[in-house]
Structure formats: structure tokens, C-alpha cells
Chain A
Amino acid sequence: MSTVPEIHRFTSIRPPKVTFIGATAIAALGLIVGSWVFVLGADRVQSQPFFSVETLERGGRFLQALLGIGSSSTPAFAQWAAWQDTARLAYQTLAMSVLAIGIAALIALATFMFGASNIMRGELAPYRSWVWGSGFFVVRAFYTFTRAIPELVWAMLIIFMFAPGLLPGALALGIHNAGVLGKLSSEVVEGLDTRPLLALRSSGAGRFQVLAYGVLPQALPRFITYLFYRWELIIRTTIVVGFVAAGGLGLEFRLSMSYFHYTTVTLLLIWYLVLVVAVDLIAAVLRRMAR
């Protein structure tokens, strides 16, 4: 703009320039308005609209049922026996989350180097053949595929093959998170400082020695950070996968909801929160250890 003389700024006719950000802002606004129109319109055709006294009363009744108000029996969260029964489920849920992050870590560790463009196609590539280079696209396609399908959908697919239990749930969580972890770690490798690696190479290290002694040690600390970050998310999702894969707290939650045992639902939610907080604390301690 500054190069245009003052007088021409107003006289010359130019089409208004549409920037990418401008187009994004308009698209985002359109999406927001469209979505709310759709959601509110779909709500209007329901037999009972959301904003009504009936809905409010219904919500109130559910909250009372969760807290065990107005029921003659002792609520489940006030019974010691119920706590003992569900402790085993919480323990299983924790084991499932650890198994899941372990599976994800193993898959990601085995593949993440092959998903980095600088190793497969760039200056660090040990081979310059198109076979090696196309490996990059295979690995990245695998990550995109596993990442785009949510854990719960993976669980629905896997349960066709495996008997219900800890393993199918952990597999579903593991496959989805392998894609996430793999993509994040590949990007770490792509962002590495290549100068020490090239120095290693020029001082006589073999192609794969550079990967093992140069790339891996640089990338591992970040990998560990991501590992704990994903674990914190996995523990929140384990209960959800348990709905279909039948491991731990998830199945019990589903059954209690179907049998209207709402005070048990409250008890399971308490356990769930305990697990989430515990995992966050453990991850914080372990993360400090990695430094």
C-alpha cells in the first residue's frame, strides 16, 4: 500500500482482495450460524423441546435420582460393599489404560522414523530410491487412517473379533493413539536440528547409525512427553471404550444406566474422577523424572 501514491489509492479501481484468513472467517461464521439454525430447528420438531418446564423437571428428577434423594434404599455410594466391588473395576480400568498406551507406544516407536519426511525423502535419507521414499506416504496414510477413526468405533469393529474383556478395549484405544502418537513424533523428527546429524554422518557413522545414535536420542524426550499427555487422555476414554468392549468401569456404567441404578452411576463417576486425578498426578511425577 505504501508504494501506491496517495492520489491513486482512491482513483484506481481494484477488486477487494480476499485473503485466506478473511475467507476462513466468513466460512467459520457461516458454519456457526448454519449449525445453530440446524440444531435449534431439529430441536423444535422433538416431542418435548429442550427449553421447557418439562425438560427442566425431568433434569431435576434425574439429578435427585443420582444423589439418591427420595429413595428408600441406601444409595450405593454410601455402602462400603459397593465401594469394594467397584474398586476391582477401577483397577481393571487402570490396567486397560496402561495396556492401551503401551500398545500405542510400541506401534508408534516402531514406525515414527519412517513417517518423517526428512528421513524418508530429505537430506537424511539413507537411500534415494522411490521405494524408500514412498514408505513415507504409506506410514503417514496409516497414521491418518488410524487417527481419523475414533476409539469407540475401533472398539465396535474389534469386538467382532475378540471376546469382550480388557484386550479389545486396549487394542481399540491403542490403535487410535498409535496414529496420534506417531504423527506427533514424526513431526518432532522433522523439526530436529539436522546439523549434529550431518556431523555424525560426515565423521563416518553409517546411515542407520545416524538414526540410532543421532535421531532417536534427540526425539525420545519429546516422545515421552507426548506419551504421558496421551495417557491422561486415554484414562478419560477408557470408560467409553468399556461401553462396548466390556472392560472395567465402562460396562458397569452402561448396565447401571440401563437398570436405572443411578446411585451406582454416581459411585462409578466418583471412581472415574479418582482415576483421572490419580493418572494426572502419576504422569506429573514421571514427567519430572524424564527431565
Chain B
Amino acid sequence: MKIRPLEGRRLLTIILVAAFAWSLFNVDWGSGLVNTGGLRAAGHIASSILRPDLSLDVLDKAIRASWTTVAYAVAGLTLALAIGFPLGVLGSGVLFRSSWLRRFNVAGTRLVLAFFRSIHELVWAWLFVVAFGLSPLAAVLALGIPYGGILGRIYSELLQDVPEAPLRALRSAGASEWRVFWFGRLPMALPDMLSYTFYRLECGIRSAAILSFVGLGGLGFQIRISLDDLAYGRVWTFLFFLIALVSLVDVWSSMVRRRITA
């Protein structure tokens, strides 16, 4: 039997298994892995799933918190669009013919976009709350910047992936690079761009819910307060609202995506 050299997928398998093993070694498996009474607390939390607190007061809070969460997500996403669209167009480098200018511009924009999105929205939120105070605009800014970075990157890739032939036709008919973009590239990439934006809305709802960790209102804030009160029934009510909200947006966005990209 011939021994095959270690390469490609076999090597990858070994690396992945070894990495997982390494990570397991970093866990302190010694005493005190589980809290004293931790199992009982977990049992309480789990069993409360059947007894969510459905009193009018809690439902009222849940609906208000859901709206706050949606408002942050939508406002944040509009800001992300305002950041991501211009930077995405710049970063795709399609507006320039001179290759030197183009390369410089693409590299610069990509770096800014990468910086925006590599910091998590909650970290942005914390920095903004300390910097600007507990304004809802801090939440919008915190969502808008990383999401703008993600949208910008995806937009620039979609704009580059447009088929070249129709654009060449426009160019040979005498259109300027700006017109080629406006009447050729953008309309062709638009369905995919819109579809991705709608997908991001679903993620935005989840992100908006956790922004409340740093003191901005919303579903996450209510979940945290209820956990502090050990009111597990209330926790589940808010969690069900969050799940329903995310699923609703998920269904809506996938219906939209099917229709505009088909």
C-alpha cells in the first residue's frame, strides 16, 4: 500500500481536529466547572419555558421593547446604507480608468471598510455610549458603522462581478465611465445588492436586541433586567418576542429575495 503525502484535505482534517483538541486543553476542567446549584438554576430556566409570564404589563413592555429594537435596527441599517453605498462604489474602483488611481483608491477604501466591520457592534456601542452619552443615536451609530463596512464590501464585490460585455457596448457607444456605472453596472447589480441588504435586516434585529447590554433600551435590556430579578417566566416572554421578530423578518426577507433575484 502506498502512503499518500499529507496534503490538501487530509492535512486540513488533521489541522482542524488538532485545533479543536488544543482548544479543549485550554479549558480549566478542574474543580468548579459547574456553579453550585447551577444545575438547579438551569432546570428552573428550562422549565419556565412552559410558563412564560403573559400578564398585560409584561406584554405591554415586550411590545414597546420590540418596537425600540426594530427602530434601532432599521435606523441603523439606513445609516449603514448611507455609509456602505458610496464606499462600496469607491471600493469597487469602477469609476476610474487610470489604473494607478484606481488601485490606490480601492486599497484605501477597503482598509477603511475592513476597520469598520472588524469591531463588533456592541464594542462600538460601548465606546459611543461613553463618548456621547446614552442617546439612541449612539445605538444607531454603533449599528450603522459595522454594518456599513459589511454592506460596502459586499456591494463593491457585486459591482465588480457584473458581466463586462454590456458595459463595453455602452462604452463604445460613447458613454462616460460615470454613465456606464449609472446605466449599466448599477442596474445589473441592484437586485443582488437589495437582496443582501434585506438579509442584513434580519441580523440587524438580533444585533439591535443586544445593544441594550450597554444601557440602551430594547428587548435585550428587558431580558437582562428579568434575569437579574430571577423572573425566568418573564425572560421567556421577551425571548419569544425576539424569536418571533427575527423569524418574521427572516420570512419577509426571504420572500423579497426570492422575488427580486429570480
**A interface residues, Cβ below 8 angstroms from B:** 20-21, 24, 31-32, 34-36, 38-40, 42-43, 46, 48-50, 55, 58-59, 62-63, 92, 95-96, 98-99, 102, 144-145, 147-150, 152-153, 156-157, 160-163, 165-167, 170, 224, 236-237, 239-240, 243, 253, 257, 269, 272-273, 276-277, 286, 289-291
A273 and B118 form a contact (CB under 8 A): yes
B123 and A58 form a contact (CB under 8 A): no
A144 and B20 form a contact (CB under 8 A): no
Known: A32-B74, A269-B119. 9 other contacts (CB 8 A): A21-B256, A34-B71, A38-B71, A59-B131, A63-B131, A148-B246, A243-B213, A253-B123, A272-B118
Q: Please tell me which one of the listed residues A34, A99, A286 contacts residue B26 in the complex, with CB atoms under 8 A apart.
A: A99
Chain A residue nearest to B32 (CB atoms) is A163
Contacts of A144 in B (CB 8 A): 243, 247
A32-B78 contact, Cβ under 8 Å, with A152-B210, A152-B220: yes
B22 and A95 form a contact (CB under 8 A): yes
A39-B137 contact, Cβ under 8 Å, with A32-B74, A62-B130: yes
Q: List 10 A-B contacts (CB under 8 A).
A: A20-B256, A21-B256, A39-B136, A48-B133, A55-B133, A102-B20, A102-B23, A148-B206, A156-B227, A289-B15
Q: Please tell me which one of the listed residues A62, A96, A145, A157 contacts residue B45 in the complex, with CB atoms under 8 A apart.
A: A157
Interface of B is mostly: helix
The reply on B113 being an interface residue by CB < 8 A is: no
Contacts of A161 in B (CB 8 A): 34-35, 38-39, 41-42
B131 and A35 form a contact (CB under 8 A): no
The reply on B159 being an interface residue by CB < 8 A is: no
**Interface size grouping (class) on chain B:** 35 or more
B110-145 interface bits toward A, Cβ cutoff 8 Å, 1 = contact, 0 = none: 000001001110110011001111111111100000
Contacts of A272 in B (CB 8 A): 118-119, 123
Contacts of A98 in B (CB 8 A): 19-20, 22-23
B41-53 interface bits toward A, Cβ cutoff 8 Å, 1 = contact, 0 = none: 1100100000000
Contacts of B130 in A (CB 8 A): 62, 257
Q: Please tell me which one of the listed residues A36, A153, A165, A166 contacts residue B78 in the complex, with CB atoms under 8 A apart.
A: A36
Contacts of A40 in B (CB 8 A): 137
A20 and B120 form a contact (CB under 8 A): no
Contacts of A257 in B (CB 8 A): 126, 130
A149 and B135 form a contact (CB under 8 A): no
* A152 and B218 alpha carbons, distance in the complex (Å): 14
A153-B45 contact, Cβ under 8 Å, with A62-B131, A98-B19: no
Contacts of B252 in A (CB 8 A): 24
B224 and A156 form a contact (CB under 8 A): yes
Chain A binder among B4-12, B83-91, B180-188:
B4-12
B178-196 interface bits toward A, Cβ cutoff 8 Å, 1 = contact, 0 = none: 0000000000000000000
* A7 and B20 alpha carbons, distance in the complex (Å): 72
* A146 and B94 alpha carbons, distance in the complex (Å): 40
Contacts of A160 in B (CB 8 A): 35, 38, 41-42, 45, 227
A237 and B120 form a contact (CB under 8 A): yes
A95 and B26 form a contact (CB under 8 A): yes
A239-B78 contact, Cβ under 8 Å, with A20-B259, A39-B140, A48-B133: no
* A148 and B209 alpha carbons, distance in the complex (Å): 11
